[in-house]
Amino acid sequence: MTSANNPQADEPAPGSDQRPGPGLRADAERNRDRILAAARHLYAREGLGVSMAAVAREAGVGKATLSRRFATREDLITAVFADRMDAYATAVADALADPDPWHGFTRYIHAVCAMQAADRGFADVLTMTFPTAKTLEARRAQAYNDFLELIARAKGTGHLRDDFTDRDLPILLMANAGVIAATADAAPDAWQRLTGHMLRSYATPGAPLPPLPDAPEPRALYRAMIRITRPAP
């Protein structure tokens, strides 16, 4: 039976001579969408360490169905994050196109931290390599090379410290991840305060900077602190 009531039997078995009809194709497409939605949800909440079995459970499909749609973990990650990697690469390209390289740099740092705040799994993609996910890896490598060029141009303005390196971005993202995880419910904009302070640490004296975002309200910060000190249920 092929229907929404039996999602694990919605596609022909590998090697089958059966030609999928319209109903089978529609069910397969729905399952693919469910898998991608489940993976996005889990990756955003828990990062890329989520198992394929957990994704299948979240999507309500069998492991065989998941394997037919995405043979490897890298295939699934590529499908989930292709649009996010495109957004990241676009952010770097936009920063390079800015006639003021320092302004482009500060805008880029804020944009990447905002992407991380919207999706916890996104930062993992920026700091990991996926040798078998060729398309994703090529896009990530290009964005990384563009970031190196952005750093060089920003230093050329005299506003970015000479000792800033590309390794400072993963450090920022790790710190930002901690703030996002701790304050997401109580003070969801707290990451902007961190980003503002970090930009000031990267800048040379007198460099133009956007206004420092307001600190979280005391009650909101207190709720966040209570939350991280309580053991998880």
In the chain, domain spans: 7-71, 81-229
Q: Is the pLDDT confidence value at 63 over 80?
A: yes
Give yes or no for a contact between 71 and 133, defined as CB atoms under 8 angstroms apart.
no
Q: What pLDDT is recorded for position 185? A: 82
201 vs 143, which has greater pLDDT?
201
Cα torsion 161, 163, 165, 167: sign? negative
Q: pLDDT, tens digit, for every residue of 196-219?
A: 999 999 999 999 999 999 999 999
Average pLDDT, the chain: 84
Separation CA 163–CA 160 (nearest Å): 9
Q: What percent of the chain has pLDDT over 90?
A: 47
Give yes or no for a contact between 7 and 1, defined as CB atoms under 8 angstroms apart.
no
What is the mean predicted confidence (pLDDT) over 54-82? 89
Q: Is the pLDDT confidence value at 21 over 90?
A: no
Q: pLDDT, tens digit, for every residue of 164-176?
A: 999 999 899 889 9
What separation in angstroms does the CA of 163 have from each of 172, 175, 201, 202? 15, 19, 11, 9
Q: Where are the alpha helices (DSSP H) in 60-189?
A: 63-69, 73-97, 101-118, 120-127, 134-156, 168-183
Separation CA 125–CA 77 (nearest Å): 9
What is the mean predicted confidence (pLDDT) over 139-156? 94
Q: Measuring CA to CA, which residue among 42, 35, 25, 121 is closest to residue 75?
A: 35
**Cα 33 from chain centre:** 19
Give yes or no for a contact between 132 and 92, defined as CB atoms under 8 angstroms apart.
no
Q: pLDDT, tens digit, for every residue of 129-140?
A: 666 667 777 888
Q: What pLDDT is recorded for position 162? A: 98
Q: What pLDDT is recorded for position 23? A: 56
Residue 211 carries which DSSP code?
Answer: P
Task: Assign 12 a pLDDT band (cuts: 50, 70, 90).
Answer: very low
Q: What percent of the chain has pLDDT over 70?
A: 83
pTM of the model: 0.72
What is the mean predicted confidence (pLDDT) over 11-28? 56
> Does the structural domain 81-229 have CATH classification 1.10.357?
yes
Q: Is the pLDDT confidence value at 93 over 90?
A: yes
Task: Assign 79 a pLDDT band (cuts: 50, 70, 90).
Answer: confident
Q: Is the pLDDT confidence value at 24 over 80?
A: no
- Kindly state the tokens that stand for 226: 């209570």
Q: What pLDDT is recorded for position 9? A: 45
